[in-house]
Structure 1
Amino acid sequence: MGLRIAVLGRGAWGQTLIDIWSRQGHQVGSWSRRDGGSPVPLLASIDLVAVAVSLVGIEPLAKLLKGHWPASLPLISCSKGIDLEQLATPSQLWQQALGSMPCLVLSGPNLAAELKQGLPAASVLACSDASLGQRLQDQLSGEGLRLYTNQDPIGTEAAGALKNVIAVAAGISDGLRLGANAKASLLCRGLAEMGVVIEGLGGSASSLYGLAGLGDLLATANSPLSRNYRCGVLLAEGRTEEEAVAEIAATVEGIRTARAALKLARPHHWKLPICEQVVAVLDTQIRPADAVRALMERELKPEAQK
């Protein structure tokens, strides 16, 4: 018997989840802010809510839902990023707003355009409650989307957020035509930088090498379907942040995440040189080519040192 699912947010990823789960035989309702009205009526008599709004959309949506959320109703957070003001991940924002409801994180190489074409993909469903994660893994996996589980929601979210910053940097590298050697070096050091934030937030290093970390990075840092990668290419071509976002005409989460990561890093003295250079380019403090030069001229050190 299928689940009764409410999907909140019908952007590219939300609509993709609606289509996938409907084909699997689940009963799927949805709400978008474009609809107007309240999503609260959807909370009645359902088994699961998946939220696929952008990070900046969480706070206004949480205000609509606060006080109406059934305590036992699971929420799957499908948003990516780190909030610039509260320095919190999406699941942390939800738990701050709605209390200690069962909360899961869905993340991985999820280029919506490919899934819409019926191309196969895999993602990770992260939940501190292993039994809940495994139950929903069984119920939500199907043709086209295979789910794995872990018990590290924070590490999974941190990996999914930081890879967007590295994807912007990868787009800059490709936009400058720096070649495969430079890009491979960038991605490798980018992984190390992602690991600094994951461990700093209390996540597991193993999530860095899972679907939400390395898997998602490989997809988003190499595909023109990725908004973050495209943003990097446009920056390399001389566009400003505002011009790049306008041309993409969609949220580029790596921009806010880069700034949030640096804000997180300062009191802890974390070394995030790629994030620093991405922000410097976004703020027009440095040209993309000079940002690459600054990374290449950093003090030499052992590879294992972060």
Structure 2
Amino acid sequence: MRGFRWPPPPDSGPRTWGPGPGGPRTGRPALPEPETELVTTPHGVRLERLVTGTGDPVTVFAHGLGNGIATTRPFGSGVTGRKVFFQFRGHGRSDAPDGPWTYLDLARDLRAVADLGGASRAFGVSLGAGALCRLLTESPERFEKLVFFLPAVLDEPRAPVAWQRVTDLLEAVESGDASAVADVVSLELPSAVRNTPAGWAYLRQRLDQLLRDGLADGLATLPEQVPLRDVTALSAVTAPALVIGCAGDDLHPVEVAERLAAALPRATLHVYDRPGVLWSERADLRDRVSGFLNE
């Protein structure tokens, strides 16, 4: 992959894969990949897991569709205690049992990892937020604190734009064409960041993971599904919750965050005024999440 040249890198940006003089010289470097482990769950699916930090409390982090441990680790950077990161089925080195899968399957993955790690708090982003909602309808008192970042869907189907984005990503990864994958992944970046060294570092990290591990076909039907039959089922959740949304995000409509916060009896809602908060509001987001979980 050292000959990768799409799209042309910016001045002082990365020009090759891996270490060397073509690596990024400015911008935030990607987090190095740590050594993970495979754990066997009670429902027979082996899941890739990473545990960092020490002591209690323990927080489990659930990632979004097509993402994984690397993209959820930054959310835990200021959180005290142990942090349990994992890959849902069909992601990374986790098993990919015969599909199609449902949010119930994802909720079982999340519950198993939380139980094995003794987690009392949970963080879910996008798909992970949906899986967390599904788990809470069955066990509303399972966690003591909850954070939902950019929830994408509750009891109403996603918009066609979200379904198409996931379909495009799955097809690009299946093709093995780095340029096709980069085309789709680059849409995750704000336009102001796409042609910068920091954007390139992110793009390279995502491409390396996706082209190495792939994505399972069983994920293809998830964008058409909903985690809940009725959002009012969350009214039994008693844990304090922080719901974070973002105006102008087509894949994660702010209305979903607002409805989720309204359904949870002890929720606090925060809405950023523009997309790309991981780039434009990174420090505020980190402090907001860690401040809520650590207090």
TM range (shorter): under 0.3
When the two structures are superposed, what TM-score results if normalisation uses the length of structure 2? 0.27
Structure 1 or 2: more helix by fraction: 1
